[in-house]
Structure 1
Amino acid sequence: MSESIILTDDELQLLTGRKNKSLQIKWLKENKFCFHVNLLGKPIILRASLNQKVIIENKQQEPDFGALNGKEP
């Protein structure tokens, strides 16, 4: 079975640490996640969007090893 393009309810709860929709939305906003809210008021996160955020954050946290040798970026 292939993975869904959106996070499941369980995955969303695991990510946010919240079960309540409004608290999930609040957490997602505070942590600058890209998401949509469906007509039921439930936050919807595309799996690709989550993966992209993780990649961007990892790149931003990489140390500048060149600076150790006196090199400028």
Structure 2
Amino acid sequence: MDTPALSLFGGPTGPEGPPVCSGKGCRKPAEWVLVWNNPKLHTPDRRKTWLACEEHREHLSQFLGVRGFLKETVTLTDFTG
């Protein structure tokens, strides 16, 4: 069985579809990139990403923000990661 290729964001690429939202159980196409870092685990220059659809952007941003992890939120089309 072939395993689909994964994009930079962990979602399938090619015929399987575009990157999808990181919200639990969500399979909607991603529109936003939430760039974050856990300072207890990562060096200051390390950046990790979650993807979000419009519906989950605020919830995921708040989750990361209250923990002090969220660095920036950009549209998927503007992300240069």
Q: TM-score, normalised by structure 1?
A: 0.31
More strand by proportion, 1 or 2?
A: 2
Q: TM-score, normalised by structure 2?
A: 0.29
The structure having more radius of gyration, on CA atoms, is 1
